[in-house]
Structure 1
């Protein structure tokens, strides 16, 4: 599972097939120690300042979460 911030939604035509996609800025992997001591409840990640961008099919988005700055 990867966490990212959707920057844009758009459509692409690939081989005459219209695809709904999103440009996503990925976050770092979670802090493993915090993830472990919270029994998988707290997923603490950092934004990567648009260094890790990825275009994904919108159908692969599993959920919407909030990333609270601290």
Structure 2
């Protein structure tokens, strides 16, 4: 039986001027040199499929999922947002990829009459 990442556990990370997507396994706190820090054990998705990214004018960010083979320990402050990674079989690609959806649920809130101010990232 294959394990697929659950949507609520996927996050966008920003580490060393690089953005990546990962599934969070768990969080924990640890004291290092008298300073308490919060960490997350994550499984990073692959970089986006280059052909899909180029063919879609940088709009389709689709990645492979590697489960326990791509584990990484990150500081919690590197997590930028919660995202959805939706499984999909793209034409011409022989494996399932997961494509990125940022701000999942925002469209449902708008339909329900709830609006959220999204600050500019300037």
TM over 0.5, yes or no? yes
Q: What do residues 6-60 of structure 1 show as CA deviations (whole Å, max 9, x unaligned)?
A: 1101111111110011110011111011111222221100111211111111111
More helix by share: 2
Where structure 1 has 5 or more consecutive residues not aligned to the other structure, the ranges are none
Which of 10, 31, 43 pairs up with 2:49? 31
SS of 2:72 mapped into structure 1: strand
TM-score scaled to structure 2, two decimals? Answer: 0.54
Where structure 2 has 5 or more consecutive residues not aligned to the other structure, the ranges are 1-18, 89-122
More strand by share: 2
Which stretches of structure 1, 4 residues or more, deviate above 3 A after TM superposition? none
Q: Number of residues paired by the alignment?
A: 70
* More relative contact order, 1 or 2 (CA 8 Å, 6+ apart): 1
